[in-house]
Amino acid sequence: MNVAQSQEASLLAPALRKFQLLVRLQPEEVEALEHMLSRYARHLGQHDDLVSEGSPLQFVRIILSGWAYRYKMLEDGRRQILAFLLPGDFCDPNYFCLGHFDHSIGSITALSYAMVPATVYQQLLHDHPRIARVATVDTLLDLSIQREWTLNLGQRDAYERIAHLLCELYIRLHAIGLAENGKCAFPLTQSDLAEATGLSTVHVNRTLQALRAAGLITLTAKTLTIANLQALESTALFTSDYLHWDVGTSLTRNSSGPADGGGEGMIEAR
Amino acid sequence: MNVAQSQEASLLAPALRKFQLLVRLQPEEVEALEHMLSRYARHLGQHDDLVSEGSPLQFVRIILSGWAYRYKMLEDGRRQILAFLLPGDFCDPNYFCLGHFDHSIGSITALSYAMVPATVYQQLLHDHPRIARVATVDTLLDLSIQREWTLNLGQRDAYERIAHLLCELYIRLHAIGLAENGKCAFPLTQSDLAEATGLSTVHVNRTLQALRAAGLITLTAKTLTIANLQALESTALFTSDYLHWDVGTSLTRNSSGPADGGGEGMIEAR
DNA sequence: CGCCCTGTTGAGTTTTATCAATATTGGTGG
DNA sequence: CCACCAATATTGATAAAACTCAACAGGGCG
């Protein structure tokens, strides 16, 4: 393996790790994915749009490195961040089933992502049913996270809300090998946090100070340190159920259970 | 057609109408669906759980008549309604891909629903790719609605928020033939509205009064009347894009476009 | 008839937003 | 290397939005 190849491998590592979390893949499936991802890899600077609302849906984009967010705006300019996208996250799995994009996706940091034409993508899924499963499970996971955000915005107060978001991000980063020992890179500004939690930036600032004063977090120089994750989780009323990280393992059990005959295509376009 | 059959047909009508909205189905597909739905139909009283958090995922449930909601609770008892389910909505499409249910579903009114074993369901999807597409598009629609709720809770104030929810419900009901001339059945209590919008019941009460005072709605005796839908939409900053009701038609165009060879299975378990 | 659920009202409090000013930081060009 | 700029973070004061508590009214139903 030469230098270029190993650099490429390390670029893809977090994304592949995410996929393996959802479905345990065979070496040849990993290889097919690696091939596709590196073939269609692209780069983007920070604070730029990958996809804008209303775009037609002819590509499937997968984050390889860096952070991005989904967001939606109201006519009067108010903006809500709907989700954060980390390496291995699909921007738009299956969305080509719908007519148009109903929100936008922007980069937070400089970003690498794969932009795969829908036809190529569909062929890959057709050839590798277990990769298709990755895409499906990822969609369901997205849905589950979105529900948790609904709960977060509807029921938790500012303090719990921000704590919850920090827990989610840390745990998702940890799962793909981008956080360790309570420490992770954290490129969000307080104003990003505000738009994600539906709070004002001033209030986010004060709430972060409260979290710091409680000894729960350190957050400086784009690095988040969580002193005691369990303590943070309990103040946030956080449980990681909704991230469904038993899927990769439980699936083996599950799919051998019903013993369903033959491939059950879930999305067959016609 | 005897009396029992015609009663049954009218029970299924709204759900079938919803499916047709998502994908234009052929008569034999409609028949296969009708057969399955009526074979596994069940009934449930009001204020009862269809599915509880943590349940294993061996069935697919589809609402046939009545209203239900998804909800999630925090340990301390706070509760958030995540979505309202109307006739034709899937409680759990594809969720059997995940290990366990991460929220609960309860009935609001007395309810009819089909409870189809996962194996039977998968067989149906396998035999009828376009029905599989209904399930997929429904999942994406669910996701889109969940995102709009995130925006609603994060950015809109109480007045806009409730107005937005009323718009969504009216339009969804209208699309399946359960609302006409600005009028529809409305079984939600103010406390349901509060749990859906993340507000207190008292504040919901006062906000509804404000909406009434502004001449936008009438809401009595479990009936909602919207005097001027356009006016309500504009105070709610509501646009119906996110409901994607161009899907059924645009799909014809879309799927004939890429001319993808063969069925691209999206979920093939193994 | 009486009870429980739902809706309504008033008063007082808490949470969060707004506005405006000031500090800090990181990056950039001279 | 320093000076300057824009973006970000912080602070204080005040206002608005929403919540809590508590009481009461109405209506349907056993």
Nearest-Cα residue of chain A relative to residue B92? A140
Residue B125: which of A144, A195, A265 has the nearest Cβ? A265
Query: Cα torsion for A36, A42, A47, A49, to the nearest 10°?
Result: -70
Which of B100, B136, B260 is nearest residue A119 as measured by Cβ atoms?
Answer: B260
| Closest residue by C-alpha to C1' distance, nucleotide D8 | A189
Contact A260 B241 (CB under 8 A): no
The predicted model gives A245-259 an average pLDDT of 51
Over the stretch A93-138, which tens digit does the pLDDT of each residue have? 777 678 788 899 999 999 999 999 999 999 999 999 999 999 999 9
* CA separation, residue A9 to residues A5, A6, A115, B75, B253 (Å): 6, 5, 18, 42, 39
**pLDDT tens for residues A24-49?**
999 999 999 999 999 999 999 999 99
Q: Which of A74, A119, A135 sits opposite B237 (nearest CB)?
A: A74
| Higher pLDDT, residue A57 or B212 | B212
Percent of chain A with pLDDT over 70: 88
Q: B91-132, pLDDT tens digit by residue? A: 987 776 787 888 999 999 999 999 999 999 999 999 999 999
Chain B residues closer than 8 Å to A258 by CB: 58, 96, 118-119, 122
**Residue B50: strand, helix, or coil:** strand
What residues of B are in contact with residue A270 (Cβ under 8 Å)?
A: 129-130, 133, 255, 263
Q: For residue A218, what are the β-bridge partners?
A: A225
Q: Does A234 touch chain B (CB under 8 A)?
A: no
Q: Which nucleotide is nearest to A191 (CA to C1')?
A: D8
CA of A201 to C1' of C17 (A): 10
Name chain B contacts of A159, Cβ cutoff 8 Å. none
Which of B137, B169, B154 lies closest to B68, judged by CA?
A: B169
Measured between beta carbons, the chain A residues lying within 8 angstroms of B82 are 147, 150-151
Name B residues 164-193 whose Cβ lies under 7 Å from strand C.
189-191
pTM: 0.90
Residue A42 pairs with which residues in a beta bridge? A113
CB A50 within 8 A of CB A91: yes
Binned at pLDDT 50, 70 and 90, residue A6 comes out as low
Tokens of A168: 């989610």
CA of A200 to C1' of D6 (A): 21
Question: A104-107 and A79-85 as β-strands: parallel, antiparallel, unpaired?
Answer: unpaired
* Average pLDDT over all residues of chain A: 88
Flag whether residue A269 sits within 8 Å of chain B, measured between CB atoms. yes
Q: How far apart are CA B20 and CA B244, in angstroms?
A: 13
A214-222 own/partner pairs: CB under 8 Å, 24+ apart = A216/A163, A217/A166, A219/A186, A222/A185, A222/A186, A222/A187
Which phi and psi (to 5°) does residue A244 adopt? 50, 50
Distance CA A183, CA A224 (A): 6
DSSP B130-147: HHHHHHHHHHHHHHHHHH
Cα separation, B2 vs B229, in Å, equals 39
Å between CA of A85 and C1' of C13: 39
pLDDT at B29: 95
- Does residue A76 sit at the B interface (CB-CB below 8 Å)? yes
Provide the β-strand partners of residue A81: A71
Below-70 pLDDT ranges, chain B = 1-9, 96, 248-270
Looking at the complex, report in whole angstroms how far the Cα of residue B179 sits from the nearest Cα belonging to chain A: 25
Element of type H or E holding B219: strand B217-220
Structure tokens at A237: 């009323």
Q: Is B80 on the interface with A (CB under 8 A)?
A: yes
Residues paired with A107 in a beta bridge: A68
Nearest CA in chain B to A59: B258
Sheet of B223-226: strand order equals B179-180, B183-185, B223-226, B217-220
B225 contacts B182 by C-beta, under 8 angstroms: yes
Quick check: A260 contacting B, CB < 8 Å?
yes
CB-CB under 8 Å, B153 with A150: yes
Closest CA to B82 of A240, A181, A149, A160: A149
Q: Where are the alpha helices (DSSP H) in chain A?
A: 3-22, 27-39, 118-127, 129-155, 158-175, 190-197, 201-213, 229-236, 247-256
Tell whether the model's pLDDT for residue A89 goes beyond 90. Answer: yes
Q: Is A6 on the interface with B (CB under 8 A)?
A: no
Q: Where are the alpha helices (DSSP H) in chain B?
A: 3-22, 27-39, 118-127, 129-155, 158-175, 190-197, 201-213, 229-236, 247-256
Structure tokens belonging to residue A94:
């299956």
CA dist B212 and A191 (Å) reads 36
Q: Considering only alpha carbons, which residue of chain B is nearest residue A160?
A: B74
Residues B244, A98: C-beta atoms closer than 8 Å: yes
